[in-house]
């Protein structure tokens, strides 16, 4: 009998090769909240965020070998896949300006459904959220801005430079400095393995 609640992520992913639906359900229960939240923050629309989450988990289900245990944490990988897919969607929207693009405001007025994942997991996510937010708050506003444009809006160096009317070199330097400072702040929290 497999203890799905107690099994670690890597063990559950290994079960996916056996087409074990209960393993996928356990991974969904554990990680769908941060995955959905990231997609919603980036896309600003519930329907679009749901589509991304569905794609991410079905891709995991059908091709679990894409995650290679030992190369990093499963959650980092899963959020990376989610980010990549959401950036694709944002870029597709930018090339099709006739489509409606909702802002963060829509996401903020969302009804949070009843029920949900393990309260302990939610609490832990909340702690991590607060720590990263505190680290971000130590950055100067112009550095926070480039991080927001790069990560959450999916803009490249050149696109950020064009959006801000700044030289490309300035944007590259500013983004690099911002990430280094953030990394330094997080290292002191010992929550993330940010050293190579």
Partner 1 sequence: MSCTESRELSEAAALGALDPADQARLEQHLAGCAACRRELGATEAIAEALALTAQQVTPPDRLKARIMQVVRLEARPQPVAAIRRPFLRLPALPLGRLSSLGAAAGLVAALGVGLWAFSLASELESQRQLNASLIQGLQGRDDLVQLVSSQPELMSFLNGTPEAPTARGRMYASTINDTALLLVDGLKPLPSDRVYQVWLMQAGQPRSGGTFTVDGNGQGRWVIRADEPLSRYQAIIVTEEPSGGSPAPTTPRLLTGLF
Q: Is 138 in the site for partner 1 (CB under 8 A)?
A: no
Distance CA 103, CA 70 (A): 37
- Which CB, 92 or 128, lies closer to partner 1? 128
Contact status: 5 vs partner 1 (CB under 8 A): no
Instruction: Give the total of residues touching partner 1 (CB under 8 A).
Output: 78
Q: Which of residues 37-56 bind partner 1 (CB under 8 A)?
A: 37-38, 40-42, 46-47, 49-51, 53-54
Nearest approach in angstroms of CB 97 to partner 1 is 21
Pick 6 or 196: Cβ nearer partner 1: 196
- Check residue 81 for interaction with partner 1 (CB under 8 A): no
133, two tokens: 């937010």
- Of 4-12, 95-103, 147-155, the window that binds partner 1 (rule: CB under 8 A) is 147-155
Q: Of residues 16-35, which lie at the interface with partner 1 (CB under 8 A)?
A: 19-21, 24-25, 28, 32-34
Binding partner 1 (rule: CB under 8 A), the pick from 8, 80, 101, 102 is 80
- Establish if 175 lies at the interface with partner 1 (CB under 8 A): yes
Binding flag, residue 170, partner 1 (CB under 8 A): no
Residue 181 near partner 1 by CB under 8 A: no
| Residue 7 binds to partner 1 (criterion: CB under 8 A) | no
Task: Kindly tell me the sign of the dihedral angle through the C-alpha atoms of 165, 171, 175, 181.
Answer: negative
Q: Which stretch binds partner 1 (CB under 8 A): 6-14, 92-100, 107-115?
A: 107-115
C-alpha span between 53 and 86 (Å, rounded):
10
Note whether 99 binds partner 1 by CB under 8 A: no
Of residues 176, 114, 110, the one with CA closest to residue 147: 176
């Amino acid at each position: 009998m497999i203890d799905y609640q107690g099994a670690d992520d890597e063990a559950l992913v290994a079960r996916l090769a056996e087409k074990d639906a209960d393993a996928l359900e356990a991974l969904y229960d554990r990680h769908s909240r941060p995955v959905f939240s990231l997609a919603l923050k980036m896309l600003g629309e519930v329907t679009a965020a749901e589509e991304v989450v569905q794609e991410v988990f079905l891709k995991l289900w059908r091709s679990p070998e894409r995650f290679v245990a030992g190369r990093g944490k499963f959650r980092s990988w899963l959020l990376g896949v989610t980010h990549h897919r959401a950036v694709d969607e944002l870029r597709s929207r930018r090339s099709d300006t006739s489509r409606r693009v909702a802002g963060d405001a829509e996401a903020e007025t969302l009804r949070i459904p009843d029920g949900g994942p393990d309260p302990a997991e939610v609490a832990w996510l909340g702690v991590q959220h607060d720590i990263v937010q505190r680290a971000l708050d130590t950055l100067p506003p112009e550095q926070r801005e480039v991080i927001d444009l790069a990560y959450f809006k999916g803009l490249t160096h050149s696109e950020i430079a064009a959006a801000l009317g700044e030289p490309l070199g300035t944007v590259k330097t500013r983004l690099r400095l911002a990430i280094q400072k953030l990394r330094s702040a997080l290292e002191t929290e010992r929550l993330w393995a940010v050293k190579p």
